[in-house]
Amino acid sequence: MITFEHITHQYVTEEGENVVYRDFNEQIADGEFIVLTGRSGSGKTTLLKMILKEIEPDEGIIRVDDKNLRDIKRRDIPFYRRSIGVLFQDFKLIPDVNVYDNLYYAILATGGSSKDAEKKITNAALLEILSDMSMLHGAVSGQTKTDRRSDISWVVLGWRMKVYRRTNMFSTLRAVTWARDYNKVRAGRDYIIYDEDDNIVVKATAEWVALDVATGRFLRITPELVAPFDPEPENSLFPDYTFPSIRHLDMEPQISGEMEINRMMFDYNGHVHNCVYQNLAEQILPEELYYHRFNDVEIIYKLEITSCGKVLLEYTKQEDRHMVVVRRKDDRAIHAVVYFSDVSL
Residues 199-253 pLDDT 10s: 999 999 999 999 888 888 889 999 998 998 889 989 999 999 998 888 777 778 8
Number of folded domains that form the chain = 3
Q: What is the reported pLDDT for 168?
A: 80
Q: What is the mean pLDDT of each run of 10 residues along the chain (345 residues)?
A: 93 81 92 86 88 92 92 81 74 69 66 62 90 85 63 90 87 91 93 94 95 87 90 92 82 89 85 91 87 91 92 91 93 94 75
Show which of 242, 269, 304 is a domain's final residue.
242
Q: Which of residues 207, 242, 277 is at a domain's end?
A: 242
Same domain, 223 and 261: no
pTM: 0.66
pLDDT of residue 86: 78
* Residue 135, pLDDT score: 85
Phi, psi of 181, rounded to the nearest 5 degrees: -75, 165
Same domain, yes or no, for 308 and 264? yes
**pLDDT computed for residue 8 by the predictor:** 94
Which H or E element spans position 133? Answer: helix 123-140
Would you say residue 110 lies in a domain? no
Contact 173, 201 (CB under 8 A): yes
Residue 94 placed within a domain: no
Would you say residue 99 lies in a domain?
Answer: no
* Residue 117 pLDDT: 55
**Domain span at 9:** 2-81
- Degrees, nearest 5: CA angle 161-302-310: 100
Q: Are residues 280 and 345 in the same domain?
A: yes
- Residue that is last in its domain, among 196, 215, 242: 242
Question: What CATH code is carried by the domain that includes residue 165?
Answer: 3.10.129.10
Q: What is the pLDDT of residue 174?
A: 93
pLDDT of residue 116: 57
Q: What's the rounded Cα separation, in Å, for the pair 291 and 89? A: 36
Q: CATH no. for residue 48?
A: 3.40.50.300
Asked if 276 and 156 touch (Cβ cutoff 8 Å), the reply is: no
- Write out pLDDT tens, residues 15-56: 778 888 999 999 999 888 888 888 888 888 899 999 999 899
Residue 282 maps to a domain: yes
C-beta separation of 30 from 263 below 8 A: yes
